[in-house]
Amino acid sequence: MPAESAAVSPTPCAIALGSNLGDSQHTLEQAIVTLSQTPGITLVQRSHWYQTAAVGPPQPDYLNGCVTLQTTLLPHPLLHLLLRIEQQFGRERRERWGPRTLDLDLLLWADCVMDTPILTLPHPRMTARAFVLVPLAEIAPDWIEPLSGLAIAALAGKVDRTGVKMIKT
């Protein structure tokens, strides 16, 4: 793992996007534009949007999707960028798993495995969440999740997809 201040060559990463407040589809589309216009980030692929039941307290359904990127940002600076973009789109952190205008989760950064107080890679709950695995399998089916050693498509095949519906746009 390179030092956090070191420059890195473009590295693949995967981000999950979600929203269930306001005009969620517009917010998600604009978040992708913001990411793609950020220096050090190149958008590689994006999934369809999926309507999914919320996890946590009673709240509206989510729109979820994933993107794959190439980035020269290291994991921690990338996480801080994602948090700034969430705030830019009105994200307020009031309760765990509560409703939100925008949620951006760093799922994978190459095959990096790390566990720090502010960032765990791969994302610690991604392998149990259909709302992450279904859209990620659409765009990165062969990406190997480094802890399980399984491809994303194989992991997606193991989760309950009930309530995960692709949105036709």
Distance, in Å, from the CA atom of 3 to the CA atom of 85, rounded to the nearest integer, reads 24
Among the listed residues 105, 115, 142, 160, the single catalytic one is 105
Among the listed residues 46, 84, 100, 115, the single catalytic one is 100
Q: Is 103 a catalytic residue?
A: yes
Measured in whole angstroms, how far is the alpha carbon of residue 12 from the centre of its chain? 13
8 Å CB contact between 77 and 111: no
With a CB cutoff of 8 Å and minimum separation 6, the contacts of 117 are none
With a CB cutoff of 8 Å and minimum separation 6, the contacts of 164 are 50, 51, 52, 130, 131, 134
Among the listed residues 46, 94, 103, 161, the single catalytic one is 103
Among the listed residues 91, 96, 111, 125, the single catalytic one is 91
Q: Is 84 a catalytic residue?
A: no
Q: Is 100 a catalytic residue?
A: yes
What is the set of active-site residues? 91, 100, 103, 105
